[in-house]
Structure 1
């Protein structure tokens, strides 16, 4: 069965023929343009396998092939990849195509290209997500404080809903570390001092027992975006004593093993933050 698409170009009619036929999961259909009346002999529609596409150096497919190579070889963050020349030979693609694919993977935060030293698998990072969040927050809402609202709302949903799962997982050592952080907050508050890294460490330690790297990196991305926007707009913070008390309320509930009270205290902490951005 043929489906014809017609279009005029340079005074002649060009026809693209798409042949629909059963194909395997390892294949894709390749469409071959054919000009009416020009007798382009030998130009037949054919099915292109993954190997065909790899040899052609197609962008997205080559990126996928390099990522599959990393997975198949069990490479870990910090490990060195084959050279550009070796990848070109192994993947059947041109060196230019391989170079472009490697650069794209570096932009994605997967690889690090150290000129003169080699290509390395990076540590897990969501730097790209942080940049996207920061840029779009500032673009969609020029008001510095209000630009934090979408990020803060999602962060609240994530943290408040995860807290109930964290409570039974907290070990005495975790609670001791959280208490020490709150005491540091309180000591700073007496000097009317505040350090965002202390607040950040509290939340990092709190959700660490979940053992979920996605949660860890999402929270880091939110923190980085919020910090970047706050610094750019030189935003003020609530009184340090109030923030310290909110964290003390959370820790007190955690020490009792009271999930409901901990969730209520965390919600109150975020309500205060969100009230500022909505005002």
Structure 2
């Protein structure tokens, strides 16, 4: 095991064991390095790596702290990695969306407040008569984001958020090339929303599956 990897592993063990908790300040660098049997350079590199993935927060002049370890915060790093996707992996992202988003829609039908549902309907109604493709895609992204948030599961919401970016180009391409794509998207969004508002989780799941699978099926045929 490389020295930096060993340092990362040892700090991770301190956090997982509860020795270091969210919000705790790490001991001084010299003290911690001596305690863990590491060089200060290896410890420093480990702290840098853990700060990149939002496990540690380095505050200049104040010290290094364990972050809140909130799932949304930790999964931000996943969004960074996902941005490096290749075009030939877009279908794989859509496959994962087809698994996650119907589950989110079903949970939202059980957990969204009436105010959240009203906000979602305002978003859908505000799209206008003949939206541009850019406006449609932006509305689509926000529609799915609000449903994921309404599912009441921070981990699921963060995962869906991180998977939205790689499929944006496919959504635009479909809107530009597939006849009736705009009308179909609006109809399916309305069906998902109606199922959520009616508190019918399985119907919401079904419509969300149809919606995401439609983009996936179109892209498979287009490629």
Instruction: Give the TM-score normalised by structure 1.
Output: 0.62
The equivalences for 1:219-258 within 5 A come to: 219-227=160-168, 230=169, 235-238=172-175, 239-258=181-200
Q: Deviations over 1:46-91 (max 9, x none)?
A: xxxxxxx9xxx94444213223444423223xx6544433432443
Q: 1:155 offset after TM fit, Å?
A: 0.7
Once structures 1 and 2 are overlaid, which stretch shifts more, 109-118 or 154-163? Answer: 109-118
Residue 30 of structure 2: which of 79, 85, 88 is its match?
Answer: 85
Q: Deviations over 1:128-175 (max 9, x none)?
A: 43344443534xx2xxxxx31110111111112343333222321221
* Equivalent-residue separation in structure 1 for 2:21 and 2:48 (angstroms): 21
Structure 1 residues 206 and 111: alpha-carbon distance in aligned structure 2, compared to 1, 3 A threshold: same
* Equivalent-residue separation in structure 1 for 2:34 and 2:137 (angstroms): 49
The equivalences for 1:176-255 within 5 A come to: 176-184=118-126, 186-187=127-128, 189-192=129-132, 194=135, 196-227=137-168, 230=169, 235-238=172-175, 239-255=181-197
| SS of match in other structure, 2:167 | helix
Contact kept? 1:167, 1:254, Cα under 8 Å: yes
Higher percent of residues as strand = 1
Moved over 6 A (4+): none
Q: Deviations over 1:163-209 (max 9, x none)?
A: 3333222321221121112112x32x534351544323322322334
Q: Unpaired segments of 5 or more residues in structure 2?
A: 176-180
Structure 1 residues 65 and 190: alpha-carbon distance in aligned structure 2, compared to 1, 3 A threshold: same
* Equivalent-residue separation in structure 2 for 1:251 and 1:214 (angstroms): 22
Q: 1:116 offset after TM fit, Å?
A: 5.7
Q: Unpaired segments of 5 or more residues in structure 1?
A: 1-52, 142-146
Contact kept? 2:25, 2:66, Cα under 8 Å: yes
Instruction: Give the TM-score normalised by structure 2.
Output: 0.75
CA RMSD across the alignment? 3.1
Partner of 2:7: 62
Residue 272 of structure 1: which of 214, 217, 223 is its match?
Answer: 214
* Equivalent-residue separation in structure 2 for 1:202 and 1:86 (angstroms): 50
Q: 1:121 offset after TM fit, Å?
A: 4.0
Q: Deviations over 1:20-41 (max 9, x none)?
A: xxxxxxxxxxxxxxxxxxxxxx
Matched, 1:150 2:95: no
Contact kept? 1:112, 1:120, Cα under 8 Å: yes
| SS of match in other structure, 2:156 | helix
| SS of match in other structure, 2:64 | strand
Partner of 2:178: none
**Which protein has the larger Cα radius of gyration, Structure 1 or Structure 2?**
1
Q: 1:219 offset after TM fit, Å?
A: 0.8
State the aligned residue count. 209
Contact kept? 2:104, 2:156, Cα under 8 Å: no
Higher RCO, Cα 8 Å, sep 6+: 2
